[in-house]
Chain A
Amino acid sequence: MEDKIYDFDMAKAPQTIIKVIGVGGGGGNAVSNMYREGIRDVSFVLCNTDNQALQKSDVPDKLLIGQNTTHGLGSGNVPEVGERAAIESEDDIRKMLNDGTRMAFVTAGMGGGTGTGAAPVVAKISKDMGILTVGIVTIPFVFEGRPKIVKALRGVRNMAQNVDSLLVINNERLRNFADMPIPQANRKADETLTIAAKSIAEIVTTNLEQNVDFADVDTTMRNSGVALISIGFGEGEGRLRQAINEALENTLVNDVNNIFNAQRVAFVIYYSHEDELRISEMDDIHDFMSQFKTEYEVKWGHGYDDSLGHKIKITILVTGFGLEDILTKTEQLELNTDEEIRAAAEKAAAEKKKRDEEDEWMQRYYGDYIDAHPKTEIVVLTTEELDDDNLIAFIEEKPAYKRTVKDVQQIRNAGNLIISSSQKNISSSTMKNQEQKQKGGTIISF
């Protein structure tokens, strides 16, 4: 592909600020889809440990990661292998991103090896470079089995820690999947990823009548936690209202009600030259906007998409979810409605349920092999420490089941000075030897 001709072409490819990176099989398929569909002003890269899968794709920019770790043969569904592969190829990933990219989508299907393990690493590298990094991940269908789901959820947690914004798409929420053959369902999942990434990219790249640009998206998505994206279409009488309703129903994500609790919101309405947005439809927009309870301005735009015909399309992007956000929002919630409080409680309950379910499944499959008895740090006091108020207060305050070795050592080190000085005062000789031997005490961990 390298020409030997002098390369005077300064703008060889139009400078793109958005890069879509597909990591692993699912991510790769989604990116290949998007590439075939064509989104303007976006560059595409595939990252995989599986050379065969990379070769299949039409996307020209490919990065085989972890050549020493996997020898191009895939990660065998082990996230740790995927992670190691990405770490091994850190320099290559950095080089790949270091081309003026301002915004990166890291798309991956969670639950396998490469996507689950490598995508968080890729995201981290990207975010560390100051690139607005948006993770778009799918989580498996229920029929794919609990172990895969648990693995996927762990991956989601890792992703959330390493991106500015994370979109989680639960395949289970895809409509009509029950009648769908499995290969088609899998394609549908890839398609979902495509739609999500494409929709956001579109917001940035399309030149709208009332524009929403990169800066707006950056404001909406930078360090914003969990995001939701939703698309709806409408046609005929009350088409915008239809579109909005469809978008709300068909969020492709969990917690539909939460949309109105979002901290930041952006939406874009598309229509064709044939059937443009009308003044009469503005009422629907106002109704919709008034439902958001955010302090931030709701950023919105509208523009042409002539592929729509008489249809109208709305893309809603909301961000600012996540466990931490729920906690810091507690005060706000109190000021607001019961609905919000309920939503927060529901979310916490869902988290807990998720954890319990994981435990339950662990127990079901591994119960006979693993003793789930958690580790505890027991403090055995020396005779001197029996009257050490600081240490005792610490032991009282911090239940044994929550303690760490480090906590205990810190407290003990702080107390050692006092102990050794008071030790001198006990003149009983036999006692003293015994004490010295015991000084520092014991920590037993199980």
Chain B
Amino acid sequence: MAYTDFIVAIDLGTSHMVGMVGTKNSSGELSIIAYEVEKVETCIRRGCVYNIKDTAYKIVGLVRKLENKLGGTRIAKIYVGVGGQSLRTIDHSVSKLLGNGVVTENTLQDIDKECRQYTPDLLNVLDIASPVYYLDNQLESNPIGLSCSRIDARYKLIVGRPALRDSVTKNMVEHIKTEVAGVIVSPLALADLILTDSEKENGSALIDFGAGVTSVTMYKAGKLVGMYVIPLGSHLITKDLMTLDNISEKEAERIKRTEGNAIWEKEKEPRPIPVDLADGRHASLKSSDVNNVVEARSREIIENIYARLEEAGMVNDAGCKLVIAGNGSTLKNLREALIERFKMDVRYASVRKDFIKDGEMIANNPEYTTATALLLKGTENCAVIPEPVVTIKEPKPIPAESPVVEQEPVAVENIEVKKTEPEVKNPIRGGEKSKGGNKTGERSGGFFGGFFDKVSGKLGEILDEEAD
């Protein structure tokens, strides 16, 4: 059967590039239709596109392979995730003097507009997380209707080198001949797919151990506290192992998987670990040497994560927990090492069941989780169909609470969608509707609220005619 309405997302990893096609049902649950992996040789470094032409070539290859699984439907556009080096949050606050006036929806909209106009030097704002409001220096979660002399909105801007976005948009498009529907900040998308509302509320950090980079996304009280991409990844462990002897990358990777250990273990008698050298000879490594190499590098990565959490005031917080994702998280004893260092509860990531209808197994494979998360952020039909047959029904935000869009859906940096629904870009719009104390629902509703707003804006008529 031919699919006519689906979303396509490409996750640009440092070791693998994943393309995934999925479709969402009326309640926003995702069904994965197809997925393909392409091995990345060197065109992506530390999560950033390094060689545009090679990357584009591979993306085209992925798109072709996916199309083969779509029963003849062509792919018109793709969403691309970014999560490479230089991506991080910075603080930005906007203040307004009200002179004992009352905060209205307009006030917040003005503030938001001002925030959007801000462009830091040398950096590109890829996303803006919802702000925290302070009325006369008092934290206020729902400021509308309250009076004060001064209001501060403290934002977290997700910024990166301009090249981070440009290399997958303007510079890429001419090579791939496929439209880029949007650039999505991968770590944020991943956090939304994995962290539960209560985890975000009580404080949690999602750590994605990638091959080229390790990203840290921290939440507290339901808000994004900070997001950083640490430019060190698990592939470095492989590279370090190669320095022990004349070992090929493949063999080093095997040793990492079978013998790697994130904890230093004292051995009375180091074991010999047989290894095939690059020149075909057989040799053996000492287990203590391997342990030393792997432990040193993984500890370096852990210490860098710790520094980020420490800055954000997340350590020594009893309620906080760590959630670990990514292929690198499978390193033996990594979880134990993290528990030891952070004195926190650590769990392995699993995707939220309420988001996935079909393909949970695939989504839970660390290699594909990010691509799944990107799909969930996608909003536009990516199929080449003049008049799409819509499978999406009248939307209802999943947990069925508030229709609130407190967290703006700007996680999706919509390049050409702007003209269709400019209102989605307004994060305050939802805020005004929100009821205090309903924040957890708002979080998950946040994205879908935006999504559904968009869908209803765009497909309203069709829905009326066909879907129902």
Contacts and interface: CB of A to CB of B under 8 A. Distances in A.
Given A380-B307, A444-B303, A399 B243 contact: yes
B124 interface: no
B179 to A, nearest CB: 29
B303 A386 contact: no
B113 interface: no
Contact of B266 (A372, A426, A434): A372
A422 B159 CA distance: 15
Interface in B68-99: 85-86, 88, 90-93
A280 interface: no
A374 interface: yes
A237 interface: no
Interface string A424-446: 01111011001000100010100
B231 A387 contact: yes
B296 A401 contact: yes
Interface in A406-436: 422, 425-428, 430-431, 434
Contacts of B268: 363, 367
B303 A378 contact: yes
Nearest to A442: B307
B161 interface: yes
A400 B300 contact: yes
B240 interface: yes
B304 interface: yes
B85 A392 contact: yes
A426 B120 contact: yes
B297 A381 contact: no
B232 A395 contact: yes
A371 interface: yes
Contact of B122 (A371, A373, A392, A425): A425
Main SS of the interface on chain B? mixed
Interface in A318-368: 356, 359-360, 363, 367
Interface string B297-322: 10110011011100100000000000
B377 interface: no
A427 B120 contact: yes
Given A400-B240, A428-B91, A431-B91, A387 B161 contact: yes
Interface in A385-400: 386-387, 392, 395-396, 399-400
Given A400-B240, A401-B240, A428-B92, A379 B300 contact: yes
A371 B300 contact: no
Interface of A: 356, 359-360, 363, 367, 371-374, 376, 378-383, 386-387, 392, 395-396, 399-402, 422, 425-428, 430-431, 434, 438, 442, 444
Question: 8 shortest A-B CB distances, which residue pairs?
Answer: A399-B240, A400-B296, A401-B296, A425-B121, A387-B86, A376-B296, A378-B300, A400-B300
Given A386-B88, A400-B299, 7 more contacts: A359-B270, A371-B266, A380-B307, A400-B297, A402-B243, A422-B122, A428-B91
Interface of B: 46, 85-86, 88, 90-93, 120-122, 161, 228-232, 236, 239-240, 243, 264, 266, 268-270, 286, 288, 292-293, 296-297, 299-300, 303-304, 306-308, 311
18 contacts: A372-B266, A373-B292, A376-B296, A386-B228, A386-B229, A387-B88, A387-B231, A392-B231, A400-B296, A401-B296, A402-B243, A426-B121, A427-B121, A428-B90, A428-B93, A431-B90, A434-B311, A442-B307
